[in-house]
Amino acid sequence: MLSRLLIRTAFWLTGMALLLFVPAGTIYWPAAWVFIAISAVSGVGIGLWFAKHDPELLAQRMGPMFQRGQSTADKILVALLLLAVCGWFVITALDAGRNVSSQMPMLLRVAGAVAIIACMCVAFLTMRANTFASPVVRVQTERKQKVIDTGPYAIVRHPMYAGAIFYFVGVPLLLGSWIGLACVPVLTAIFAVRIVLEENTLRAGLAGYTEYTQRVHWRLLPGVW
């Protein structure tokens, strides 16, 4: 399990590095190295914690993005999201790494790093509360999935996605790209569509989920949606 975690993390970090440094045309980009470092430390640290405390969840998180029992609609959304995120990294790198069109104040860059760390903290708290936090939309009948309404799930119905907003905002701030920041609504919109799909799936197949939605009213942001 640990070797698989380290290999997967190395593969993931290498992919992000290529998406950033190749379009930027340089490896002399301090903000990108800070981003890679935050991703490495948080990814390995969270992975090691779950390897000890919830290895079944870690196995789910390291599973393929396309699985049996996953709806065709979710497979399409996952593919679209992956393409959108990869394109977003490239656009951000072209803007901030190669060009000088984006001038981001240092205070905002620091805020971006803090937002990324906040995302990782939310992801950790979400997975600690919900051992069924799979990367694909499906009801895990083989694991006797049940509704989780504790921890961050007592505040919003989709805390993992809520945390991702910190990531979407934090990355372009840290890297210094106003164009990357302007892409955030597009990424968030894809997540919003997936949230609706996920809720339809859970209402249809997970006992007690409809009652949960009546107790916790907000999907993503309290007071907004």
Digit-coded pLDDT (tens) for 38-47: 999 999 999 9
Is the pTM higher than 0.75? The answer reads yes
- Asked which of 107-111, 130-134, 137-141 is least confident by mean pLDDT, the reply is 137-141
**Which ranges constitute the DSSP H helices of the chain?**
2-24, 30-53, 55-61, 72-92, 106-129, 159-175, 178-182, 184-205, 209-215
Mean pLDDT of 154-179: 96
Whether residue 30 is predicted with pLDDT greater than 60 in this model: the reply is yes
- pLDDT recorded at residue 99: 66
Contact present, 138 and 206 (Cβ < 8 Å): no
Which is higher by pLDDT, 142 or 108?
108
**Residue 78 in tokens:** 């996952």
Among residues 125, 132, 133, which one has the least CA distance to residue 152? 125
For residues 78 and 76, give the distance between their C-alpha atoms in angstroms, rounded to a whole number. 5
Structure confidence at residue 102 (pLDDT): 57
Tokens representing 134 are 């799979």
Residue 84 has pLDDT above 80, yes or no: yes
Q: What is the pLDDT of residue 142?
A: 85
Q: What is the mean pLDDT of residues 24-40?
A: 94
- HSE-CB for 137 with a 13 A CA cutoff: 23
Percent of the chain whose pLDDT exceeds 70: 97
* In contact, 131 and 197? CB cutoff 8 Å: no
Domains annotated on the chain, with CATH: 2-215 (1.20.120.1630)
Quote the tokens at residue 206.
């997970």
